[in-house]
């Protein structure tokens, strides 16, 4: 497995969780659990991705601007999560805020897959792509396990 395949696995998981979360209604155990799972997934992925992809690509001239852009989007996602954390699960506006978060995440994943991964792919050797996958997965799994 290379780093991009490893990252995409979490992207798919994020998409599934968002879809399931947006189908919930009101303050239910399901909504609480799915939200917790999504938060854990987002955070573990973002941090490990920053360490094992963006930090590496930042060292290339061509990677600086796109990496900064992506990291700024991680911060925007974190802020949307914080807003949702401050909203009661039975608040009538909860779903609309969850949708805003979902749209932001989807935009981000799309951009990474369509642009950033293509660009990074050209800057890394096959060996690097494999080694980064191993390091990323270790970090990501550890973060998910808490
Ligand atoms: Fe990301
Ligand atoms: Fe990502």
CA distances in angstroms from 77 to 40, 62, 82, 125, 145, listed in the order given = 13, 24, 9, 30, 21
- Measured in Å, residue 130 CA sits from the centre of ligand 1 at 19
Q: Is residue 129 within 8 Å of 2, Cβ to Cβ?
A: yes
- Measured in Å, residue 74 CA sits from the centre of ligand 2 at 9
Q: Which residues are close to ligand 2, an ion, with C-beta < 5 A?
A: 49, 112
Residue-wise pLDDT tens digits, 98-140: 999 999 999 999 999 999 999 999 999 999 999 999 999 999 9
Which of 50, 114, 35, 25 lies closest to 80 in space, CA to CA? 35
What pLDDT is stored for residue 1 in this prediction?
95
- Measured in Å, residue 109 CA sits from the centre of ligand 2 at 6
- Measured in Å, residue 48 CA sits from the centre of ligand 1 at 9
- pLDDT class for 146, splitting at 50, 70, 90? confident
**Domain spans, the chain:** 3-145
Model pTM?
Answer: 0.96
């Amino acid at each position: 497995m290379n780093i991009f395949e490893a990252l995409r696995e979490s992207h798919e998981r994020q998409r599934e969780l968002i879809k399931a979360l947006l189908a919930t209604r009101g303050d239910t155990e399901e909504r609480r659990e799915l939200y917790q799972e999504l938060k854990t997934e987002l955070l573990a992925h973002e941090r490990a991705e920053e360490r094992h992809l963006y930090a590496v690509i930042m060292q290339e001239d061509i990677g600086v601007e796109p990496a900064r852009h992506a990291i700024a989007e991680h911060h925007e996602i974190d802020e949307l999560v914080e807003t949702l954390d401050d909203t009661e699960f039975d608040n009538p506006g909860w779903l609309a805020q969850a949708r805003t978060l979902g749209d932001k995440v989807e935009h981000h994943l799309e951009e990474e897959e369509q642009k950033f991964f293509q660009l990074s792919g050209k800057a890394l050797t096959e060996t690097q792509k494999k080694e980064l996958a191993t390091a990323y997965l270790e970090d990501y799994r550890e973060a998910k396990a808490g």
